[in-house]
Structure 1
Amino acid sequence: MQQEILPALKKIDFLANLSDERLESLAAKAKSIKFPKKAVIITEKDETGSLYIILSGKVRVFSSDEKGKEITLLIQEAGTYFGELALLSDQTRSASVATLEKTVCGVISKEDFIHWLTLHPDVAINMLGTLSEKIRYLTEKVKQLALSNVYERTVKLLYEMAQKEGDVYVIHNKPSQQELANMVGSSREMINKIMHDLTKGSYIAIEDKMLKIQRTLPASW
């Protein structure tokens, strides 16, 4: 397990500059847990406090209301982590996390992490910088929801997910329309209309699980 978790810990921004010796002592506290596709790892308002490092697979971080309406805050893949906010406070979980495919996580309990952190207090300063960046990201997302319309948010998201290949932008593992709707805070029906019009206008092309942005997407719809 330590051989799997050590490279993953090195990818975590607030741990990246630590020596192998210091990271090995943290890796020794991790447990490997396998989750099937569509499993809920964390539920919003849970009182759990572990740190999760994704070793393989993909998860969705989301929030929901009493009526079950969801908005996706983040999609995370191998080499990333979640649950760090609960390490530094006694507050309940701020969001839910569910797997989008089979996922393996290295899990470090809050108690073990805090004990390790007391031995390496300089890491706390790095964590504060990382958390401030996450707050900025979520603040920008809230700003988009408040000030941009569904089409503008959809276009921004497509470009964020795409990689440039030659003269086109490509999303190799495109999300479903419902997943897109959850990410931009809209209905699947609205996303269906937008994607239909973009396809009809030859702005995008969809082939199996791949989406190509062939022309610059219009600024407005």
Structure 2
Amino acid sequence: MENKESQQACNHTIGSHKSCISLVPIFNHLESEQMDEILMTAQSVSYKKGEIIYQADNQSTSLYIVNSGKVRIFRLSESGKEQLVRILNPGDFTGEYALFSESTHESFAEAMVDTAVCMINRTDLQAFLLKYPSISLKILAEFSTRLEQSEKQSTWFATEKVETRIAHYLIEGLAGGNHSEVLELPMSKKDLASYLGTTPETISRKLADLEAQGLIKLKPHKKIEIIDVEGLLLV
């Protein structure tokens, strides 16, 4: 009986690892056998809501892949002010700088809900990069996307008023098309304020203003109906 339970636990772990690897764009283009090779090096770790996965100044030695749950990446200024960098969902990854050099993390990673993460250490990753060069191209594509988003965020902070930042954020959340659509905010107002460089109170006030203008409609459970996309573009 004990052997059967152990085997079931082992099968569950293998299945979890395989799911983790197959979710990630930098790996899921590989052949099944190649992904199996990678999953053999992966370590699965679980975190409770609010637990820190890594923090600034910790040694960066592994790639972290979100298997289930949600992770927030943020930085702290010298004054202790928090700046949200991004939110990771299943299939997203962080710690990629460990691929290229021995370094320390510049940000914090925190589980927003109960979260399972797959970790692959630097040595194994570097071996896979040499063996499967296509992984490197996928990582560069992800770097390019993140750099573009970071530059866009910096531009918002430097040149746009708060309501414009909010309007742009909502528009980017649309799946496509200039029609009414209900979005569910992927984060709390506190995190959204941190991401957009303002305060939760200002976020609430500006969202109410946009609703009063007939551009959006606020709904329960962090949902927002986009009523007038063209109007938002002019905010």
Q: Distance in 2 between matches of 1:57 and 1:192?
A: 26
> TM-score if structure 1 supplies the norm length?
0.87
Letter in 2 for 1:187: T
Check 1:107–1:154 CA distance in 2 against 1; reply closer, same or farther (3 A cut): same
Partner of 2:10: none
Question: By how many angstroms is 1:86 displaced?
Answer: 2.1
Q: When you count helix as a share of all residues, which structure comes out higher?
A: 2
Greater than 6 Å deviation, 4+ residue runs: none
Residue 70 of structure 2: which of 58, 77, 84 is its match?
Answer: 58
- Identity of paired residues, percent? 23
> TM-score if structure 2 supplies the norm length?
0.82
Letter in 1 for 2:85: L
Check 1:166–1:4 CA distance in 2 against 1; reply closer, same or farther (3 A cut): farther
> Where does 1:36-185 land on structure 2 (aligned, <5 Å)?
36-163=48-175, 167-173=179-185, 175-185=187-197
Three-state SS of the structure 1 residue aligned to 2:59 is: coil
Check 1:164–1:139 CA distance in 2 against 1; reply closer, same or farther (3 A cut): closer
Three-state SS of the structure 2 residue aligned to 1:18 is: coil
Contact 2:153 2:196 in 1 (8 A): no
Matched residues, number: 221
Partner of 1:17: 29
Partner of 2:224: 211
Is 2:41 the counterpart of 1:29? yes
Check 1:36–1:106 CA distance in 2 against 1; reply closer, same or farther (3 A cut): same
5+ residue gaps, structure 2, are: 1-12
Deviations 1:109-136 (A, max 9, x none): 2233223434434533443343233223
Q: Distance in 2 between matches of 1:7 and 1:122?
A: 20
Question: By how many angstroms is 1:177 displaced?
Answer: 2.0
Q: Distance in 2 between matches of 1:220 and 1:166?
A: 14
Partner of 2:6: none
Report the aligned-residue RMSD: 2.4
Q: Distance in 1 between matches of 2:44 and 2:186?
A: 28
Deviations 1:7-50 (A, max 9, x none): 43234333232111111111111121111112221212321321
Question: By how many angstroms is 1:166 displaced?
Answer: 9.7
Letter in 1 for 2:123: E
Check 1:174–1:74 CA distance in 2 against 1; reply closer, same or farther (3 A cut): closer
Q: Distance in 2 between matches of 1:31 and 1:90?
A: 20
Is 2:213 the counterpart of 1:201? yes
Q: Distance in 2 between matches of 1:26 and 1:136?
A: 29
Rg larger in structure: 2
Q: Distance in 1 between matches of 2:59 and 2:69?
A: 25
